Chains A and B, each alone.
Chain A
Amino acid sequence: MKKSAVGSVFALLLISAVVLPVFLSSYQWPVTARDHLELKGVEESGATNLVSAIYLGYRAYDTLGETIVLLVAVTGTIGILKKAGAVLEDRHSFALPGEMRRANYMRTHLLEAVTSKLGPIVLLFGFYVMLYGHLSPGGGFQGGVVVASGIVFLALGSSGNASSALIRQDMLGRIEAVAFLMLLILSISGIFTGEGFLDNPLKHYSSLPAAFIIVLNIIIGLKVGAGIGVMCIIMLGKE
């Protein structure tokens, strides 16, 4: 134990010493990309929110990669969860004495009432964040995670029987699969319309310059929301 601690501290100190000069550099900051974005960013991409201009415009290919990282992580997590079995070992109950619950020991009436009312509102907010990503802070990833929490709320408030199709695992799986396919088709379609890979294929069909970014935001949001939502529902477990 002692020896491993010494090793860890040694490794930490050594790597810090290596990295330190990178932070201490006093070289002037690069300005090329910044100036380009400031002068041409809105005009070229149509997005007022320059962050979304970068991640769905200039560097959309990286975003495609990161979406896939999330997809693989969710698929892998679900695989491991299913192999391990989602059985709650601890039968500890949060229910109040008067509730006399038989199903869903881990919940209370209060929790269910609040989450089932909040769920739709959270979903709505998620779609707002998704749709307005090109104008204000937000976008597909953030909106998708909010949507996923809305789905979790709905699942918590469903008192055991599915009150909404949105919390069914098969339904979420379908949304995720279709959204992923749509994302790819949209990325590739530029090649066939003569624009090139991940170039805006809607350029000549839409008067709204940000149309491509908006559509990408919606699709990524649906994919992220469904993926994280289904993972959380599996984690909630069946009882």
Chain B
Amino acid sequence: MSPEGLAFAPVLLPLLGAAIVFLAKAFFRGRGAVIAEYTGVFTGLYLPWLALIFLFPVVINGSAVTGVIGHWNSGVGISYRFDGLAWMVNVLGYTLGGAAWLHSLSSGPKGPSFSAIFLIQTAALGAAIMTADLFNLFVSLEVLGISSYILVSSSEKPGAALASFSYLMVSSTAMVFFLLGLFGLYRITGSLSYEGIAAGSGHLEGNTLATAVISLSLLVGAIAIRVAVMPLYGWLPDAHALAPHAVSAVLSGVLIKTPLFALSRILILFPIGKEAGQLMSYAGAATALLAVIIALSQKDAKRLLAYHSISQIGYIVCTWGAAVAVGIGTKAGTLLMAAAFLHALFHAVFKGLLFLSIGSSVDAAGERDVYKLRGAVSILKRSGDKAAIAFFGFLVGALSISAIPPFNGFTSKTAMTYLLKYYGQSGTVLYWMLTVAGAGTAASFIKLSRIYWPGKDEAYRDLPDRKGALAVLPASVSILFLSLLCIAGGIFTPLIFRTVTALLSGSPLSMGEGFSFFSAGNLMKSLYTAGAGIFVFLLATGRRGGALLTKVRERPRSFQGLFVSYALAAAAMAGWLLYHAFL
């Protein structure tokens, strides 16, 4: 099959899988329906790996599969571009999507409707990253959005419907402004394809430049909501905390990153895009630091993880923004972008792992409060997870996110902070902000690990054995798989990093002369950070620290606050870009 046909496999196979699942629901009952459903899921979630393997030689040397869908004239048709970036984001999505769906067999929600929408969401991820057309990006984001609203609301938890509704309202509002921005750019350039927009916006001035700049800031604002950068994070904690575990894993691991990498395709078109990247970079560093403080104050286990997703996406946005600011085509830009992607990939793996293993643990105990739940290991053993694999998964995930060598979080955070300090604007400040956030992360996971500490588990002693060993098998397999990836990712980082740079720029690059991920300096730094983490943990559990964190946790949050923060963010981005465009 031609590369043109194969490039669409990551989008079309999940859709085909969804169609099979819908057929299974409509025509079959009982065993037949389950077999047909699994066939659909296999087609949609695991078969695309074949296509990705065949596409690897095509994209590894920096070339791309491009064209217009349906072979129309490029001025009216939809352009697409399947390159190294699209390949990598697909790998990220399918790795976590496959593992998360497997976990849902144990933890729910089961059923054909869930599987079908899960598949459609996966397809939308693939579509969003390979499009080279602004309106098609809008459609992809809409499909992505509506499938995630439905998946969040499919949870049995009270409040899930409301969380899904807030997410829907704020992101639909932003999409209206995305559409306005799209209109503004079309008005000026007469094109929807990225190429056409770049060609049409070459030398603008005065009024027209202002229109282009504001349109761009509206696009960035709408995507920043999906990425949940400060101050646009308000919808995320509820949605991610209350969604079913498998959905939380995918939302945190994949969904918030895909729009970000899709955005880099747009920002590269405009000279002013660099300034947008710079502001996003600062916002990312602030996000990493502030979200970790809020995370430290949480008492719901999954909500704590949700705030860590915001914090970690802050790291990624910070590095990604710095890459955009120095220019994606340059060597520094490629290195920074590769580091950002590396952390996006590794975060997807370890955060997915954390959501799944914490999900298994709190389900077994029927308790999510970090301050109440104790002795989760023995609870897990009684619930059918004889080897306490969920605890093992948590341990690997927590060590990874706290950047302890040799786990994958250590290498990706080292790469990001090192490169930011070296290449980024005001890189030293960003470096220290991210390092302090790292200490907070370690502290917060010491706090979360207390649910596994042996202790007063009398309250849970008379829990009935609710699940057999067979029922937890899929969950255990997915947790083990992701744990393995965490360790392998850390050990093989130099190889992965070179591959990522090759996919981005066509030729493999290394971090720099004489740089080693596991050098004594880097190992010592991780030790210092972990030590600082213990110190912060002790501070936070102290009387004063506890009171302060309670205040942070109980801070007022409101529905209309989501919209006010969106307006503020869009205005700030527009103001920042106008300032740099005209002054």
Contact = CB atoms under 8 A, between A and B. Distances in A.
Interface stretch (B53-61, B148-156, B319-327, B442-450): B148-156
A224 to B, nearest CB: 15
B135 A59 contact: yes
Contacts of A76: 117, 146, 149-150, 153-154
A141 interface: no
Interface in A104-155: none
Interface in A147-202: 170, 173-174, 176-178, 180-181, 184, 187-188, 190-192, 195-200
Given A184-B19, A198-B70, A199-B71, A18 B211 contact: no
Nearest to A31: B190
A45 to B, nearest CB: 9
B15 A184 contact: yes
A37 B19 CA distance: 34
A100 interface: no
B519 interface: no
B5 A196 contact: yes
A41 to B, nearest CB: 9
B77 A58 contact: yes
A25 B72 contact: no
B70 A199 contact: yes
A31 B153 CA distance: 44
A65 B127 contact: yes
B569 to A, nearest CB: 10
B290 to A, nearest CB: 20
Contacts of B147: 72
A200 B72 CA distance: 11
A191 B214 contact: no
A116 B245 CA distance: 47
Interface stretch (A3-11, A87-95, A231-239): A3-11
Contact of A25 (B113, B181, B208, B568): B208
Contacts of A25: 184, 187-188, 207-208, 211
Contact of B564 (A11, A59, A174, A198): A11
A48 interface: no
Interface in B123-168: 123-124, 127, 135-136, 139-140, 142-143, 146-147, 149-150, 153-154, 161
Contacts of B73: 36, 40
Contact of A65 (B22, B143, B191): B143
Contacts of A188: 12, 16
Q: Is the interface of A mostly helix, strand, loop or mixed?
A: helix
A18 B4 contact: no
Given A76-B153, A176-B22, A196-B4, A69 B142 contact: yes
A123 B568 CA distance: 49
A11 B76 contact: no
Contacts of B214: 18-19, 21-22
B207 A21 contact: yes
Given A7-B560, A25-B207, A72-B143, A191 B5 contact: yes
Interface string A46-75: 000000001001111110011011011101
28 contacts: A7-B560, A11-B560, A15-B570, A21-B207, A21-B214, A22-B215, A22-B218, A25-B184, A25-B188, A27-B211, A30-B190, A33-B191, A65-B142, A69-B143, A71-B120, A76-B117, A78-B113, A173-B25, A174-B26, A177-B26, A178-B26, A180-B19, A181-B19, A191-B1, A191-B2, A191-B5, A196-B67, A196-B70
Interface of A: 4, 7-8, 10-12, 14-15, 17-19, 21-22, 24-27, 29-33, 36-37, 40, 44, 54, 57-62, 65-66, 68-69, 71-73, 75-76, 78-80, 170, 173-174, 176-178, 180-181, 184, 187-188, 190-192, 195-200
